[in-house]
Amino acid sequence: MSKPIVANLPAMLILISLVSSSLAENEVGLPNIHELPSDLIIPALSEGKPSSGKRVREILSGYEDCSLFHVLYLPIDWKPNEKYPVIVEFPGNGGYRSKLGDESSGLVEDCKLGYGISAGRGFIWVSLPFVDSSTRQHTLKWWGDADATAAYCRQAVTHICQEYGGDPDSVILTGFSRGAIAGSYIGLRDDETAKLWRAMILHSHYDGVRKWSYPEADAESARVRWARFDGKPQFVTQEQSIENIREFLKDKPSPSISLHAIPYPNHTDLWILKDLPERRLLRDWLHATLQR
């Protein structure tokens, strides 16, 4: 009679465990988002002056002697002397890479949310830098000079509304990761900046939920900033789960905040370039918000 084979039993158990884990992940709907096709391609940066359908680098008055710039996109249906809502976007931290293939360069030219939200039509889209006052450059990680960044933001919004028909009553602030925290940390830094926004669209992180290493990153300081937003609409998303943000907001729940988990494990803004139900919800929400 042959003897049972038991020598490789530990290895077999490990293999079974790995297979079970993989199956469990698929059962809860968490494949890698990079496996999904994108239905949008962001236009490459172009040289020259802004015009419909072009994405260009633009330098604000007063910054001609340094390397600071923002990236401006005028929609494919843009026409002079007409009004358009404006999407203002801040990028995530640079130098980020994950084992899932997620990356964030931190560069303004690599922002994605504004294009995915609008599909390149009907909205002016601008991606703004974080200003390092000592070098007068865009900082790839965290804030540089937060007050100088807020000042650049105010000047850029005013410029876009005056020069390209941006509607000052329909300015939406958005951002991914660092850019999502910037919704409050920069966008609500003071009363003057806070008055710019009609609504916010924030993906992955939320000011006040987690204490970071920079000044005034605690929950109470964040609540002071959020008070400046005065209950205006927010559409907030995060990979896999939104519960930590929901927990932060539980003491002051608001019907104007729409929370949605993106059912993928990836820490990335790439989801906005894919035909997901959450993107359709976001576009419907934004349309309704601008009609109010």
pLDDT at residue 251, as a whole number: 85
Distance between CA atoms of 226 and 251, rounded to whole angstroms? 13
pLDDT at residue 239, as a whole number: 98
3-state secondary structure the chain: CCCCCCCCHHHHHHHHHHHHHHHHHHHCCCCCHHHCCCCCCCCCEECCCCCECCEEEECCCCCCCCCCCEEEEECCCCCCCCCEEEEEEECCCCCEECCCCCEECCCHHHCCHHHHHHCCCCCEEEECCCEECCCCEECCCCCCCHHHHHHHHHHHHHHHHHHHCEEEEEEEEEEECHHHHHHHHCCCCCHHHHCCCCEEEEECCCCCCCCCCCCCCCHHHHHHHHHCCCCCCEEEEEECCCHHHHHHHCCCCCCCEEEEEECCCCCCCHHHHCCCHHHHHHHHHHHHHHHC
pLDDT at residue 252, as a whole number: 82
Q: Each residue of 8-26: pLDDT tens digit? A: 434 433 333 333 333 334 3
Residue 138, strand partner residues: 131
Fold that domain 43-291 belongs to in CATH: Rossmann fold (3.40.50)
Whether residue 19 contacts residue 11, with contact meaning beta carbons closer than 8 Å, is answered with no
Enumerate the domain spans of the chain.
43-291
Give pLDDT < 70 ranges for the chain. 1-30
The answer to whether the pTM exceeds 0.85 is yes
pLDDT at residue 88, as a whole number: 99
pLDDT at residue 254, as a whole number: 86
CA–CA distances in Å: residue 230 to residues 46, 99, 223: 38, 39, 11
Q: Each residue of 180-190: pLDDT tens digit? A: 999 999 999 99
Residue whose tokens read 């300015």: 171
Q: Closest Cα to residue 257, out of 210, 191, 200, 194?
A: 200
pLDDT at residue 28, as a whole number: 46
